[in-house]
Structure 1
Amino acid sequence: YSETDKMGVVYYANYLVWCEVSRTESIRQQGDSYREWEEQGFALAVSDARIRYHRSARYDDLVRIDTYLTEVQSRSVTYEYRMTLAASGELLVTAATSLIAIAPNGRPIRLPAAIRERLNGMREAPPAR
């Protein structure tokens, strides 16, 4: 029940947490990690988050999260997310987050060229809605 409200409906802000978890796992699957990036002197900070709720998930629903890296720029990246009920494929949420590369002091910086190249190789458009 930690992710739901009293009525058993997933609390709206938890979808953004799930976006972060899915994005982090996507980066890990490409062979990188946030921790390694921080050790290299940069991190990604969310600069914009958009979310559209189509249907509520409820307690004990299994939710599938598909994550797509849709844009890579010199200083930023954008991910899009599609959350569906695992059993039926019914659309729950569509979301997007834009992240900016920052130095340890919080100032925006360019993404390292090698990271940008790898990320560009992962770009993918989400399916048409």
Structure 2
Amino acid sequence: MGFQTYSHKVQYYETDQMGIVHHSNYIRWFEEARIDMLEQMGMGYSRMEQQGIIIPVLSVRCEYRSMTRFGETVEIIPLLRKYNGVRMNIEYTIVDRDTGELRCVGESTHCFLTKDGKPVSLKREYLTMDDMFRSNLPEE
């Protein structure tokens, strides 16, 4: 399944003195797109947290390809790349909405925990969630 892209209009406070987006904001945009992707799947953060599951970030990688400036709008394209019931990897592609120019690519890795911090296997304990994630993996 493909997800709808997530749009973000660059705000002034996200830029540095040169009017270029500060590098840390791309990671925030990954999170915005990830939350939107999970909601599109029917597994939004609030729903998962109501069921006692949290999804911490284990790692994040970001490669900057071109500069983004104040006032531009970017499209963030998330892709659930890997999922095994315990961990997942999401890839992100950020492009300028108007020109299509590639701004950034990246990836985040997550695990599933109970609210008290214990690892949980969705495929063993939360079958509906597991099915939702598996049905959104790209076909190989």
User: Under TM normalisation by the shorter chain, which class is it?
Assistant: over 0.9
Q: Is the 8 A contact 1:72 1:116 kept in 2?
A: no
Q: Tell me which of 129, 133, 137 is aligned to 1:115.
A: 129
Moved more, 109-118 or 69-78: 109-118
Q: Is the 8 A contact 1:62 1:86 kept in 2?
A: yes
What do residues 4-27 of structure 1 show as CA deviations (whole Å, max 9, x unaligned)? 111111010100100000010011
| CA distance in structure 1 between the partners assigned to 2:56 and 2:100 by the alignment | 31
Q: Is the 8 A contact 1:76 1:99 kept in 2?
A: yes
Q: Is the 8 A contact 2:43 2:132 kept in 1?
A: no
Question: Post-superposition, which runs of at least 4 consecutive aligned residues in structure 1 deviate over 4 A?
Answer: none
Q: Percent of aligned positions with the same letter in both sequences?
A: 26
TM-score using structure 2 length: 0.85
Q: Which runs of 5+ in 2 are unaligned?
A: 1-11
Q: CA deviation at 1:74?
A: 2.1
Partner-residue secondary structure (3-state), 2:15: coil
Q: Does 1:30 align with 2:44?
A: no
Q: Which runs of 5+ in 1 are unaligned?
A: none
Q: Is the 8 A contact 1:65 1:82 kept in 2?
A: yes
Q: CA deviation at 1:106?
A: 1.5
Q: Does 1:68 align with 2:79?
A: yes
Q: CA deviation at 1:107?
A: 2.2
Where in structure 2 are the equivalents of 1:84-103 lying within 5 Å? 84-103=95-114
| CA distance in structure 2 between the partners assigned to 1:38 and 1:79 by the alignment | 19
Letter in 2 for 1:34: Y
Partner-residue secondary structure (3-state), 2:29: helix
Match of 1:7 in 2: 18
TM-score using structure 1 length: 0.92
| CA distance in structure 1 between the partners assigned to 2:112 and 2:73 by the alignment | 32
